Amino acid sequence: MARDHARRFLGKSIVVTGAASGIGLAATRLFAAEGGRVIAVDRSPALKDAVSAIEGEVEPFEADAGTEKDVAAVMDRAVARHGGLDIVYANAGVLGGLVPLLEITAEQFAEILRINLIGTFLAIKYAAPKMMARGGAIVCTASVAGLRSGAGGTPYSASKAGVISLVQTAAQQLGGTKIRVNAVCPGLIETGMTKDMYERARQRGKADRIGQLNPLRRGGEPEEIANAAAFLASDEASYINGTALVVDGGLSSSHPYARAEPGKPAT
């Protein structure tokens, strides 16, 4: 039976974290456009202005996705406002910089884990009990950096590998509740976290090299990840559970090698 994509989330109670920019903002816009009733969460004071132009039902909620009392309050607010909770997109995260392994402090490592991994755990912990009455979908932003080395700094990569494992174990432990838990693994996407890298490449006249290591030869857009997250959150993905969907232009489909010139065979 054909589905009406424009109404996939009609009346659904949805929480999106990391919603002030990038992937989270794009996802908030998409969920609202398709009828969702969204609580948009971010610790940035820019959140309210960022979501103010979005058409549809969106409530900004300033909170820290890595702080337990804040996450509990967010889920309570969704239930109080919308009468329940159907979808959570645990997207909030920080990059942490490419600090050499032996120069990373324990405090730096812990702060990245607090937001990226513990924050995702908290989203699942406080969302799942509110979803059990009618089922729901939890989507988490992991990364290709969580699959193998070379796509991010050490603490960031470790945190995202943890998110993938968390999604797998959560899906199993929530078995029988009709709650699905999945992750999306973005590759190189132009967001607030990668802005400096993109700007440096443009300033050096090397913008054409952005994303050169993947078969599509380009970086991705936040909307492309939002589309993948929305799919995983929708009924169209009703039999997808405990998995990590890679959206990286094909980057992780191969081990690194020396590329040939276009049109010539690789050696």
What's the chain's Rg over C-alpha atoms?
18
The CATH code for residues 10-189+222-246 is: 3.40.50.720
* pLDDT on residue 189: 84
What is the pTM for the complete model shown?
0.91
Catalytic residue among 89, 126, 156, 257: 156
Order of strands across the sheet with 37-42? 57-62, 37-42, 13-17, 87-90, 136-141, 179-186, 244-247
Question: Which is nearest to 241 in space by CA: 167, 176, 134, 185?
Answer: 167
* Domain boundaries along the sequence of the chain: 10-189+222-246
Question: Is 198 noted as a catalytic residue in this protein?
Answer: no
* pLDDT value at residue 253: 86
What does the pLDDT look like over 236-264, one tens digit per residue?
Answer: 999 999 999 999 998 888 866 655 566 55
Predicted pLDDT at 2: 45
Alpha-carbon gap, residue 77 to 109, rounded angstroms:
31
pLDDT at residue number 198: 54
Residues of the chain with pLDDT under 70: 1-5, 191-211, 255-267
Given this model, what pLDDT does residue 218 score? 85
Give pLDDT, residue 190.
73
* pLDDT single digits (tens) 176-190: 999 999 999 999 887
Residues 6+ apart with CB under 8 A from 4: none
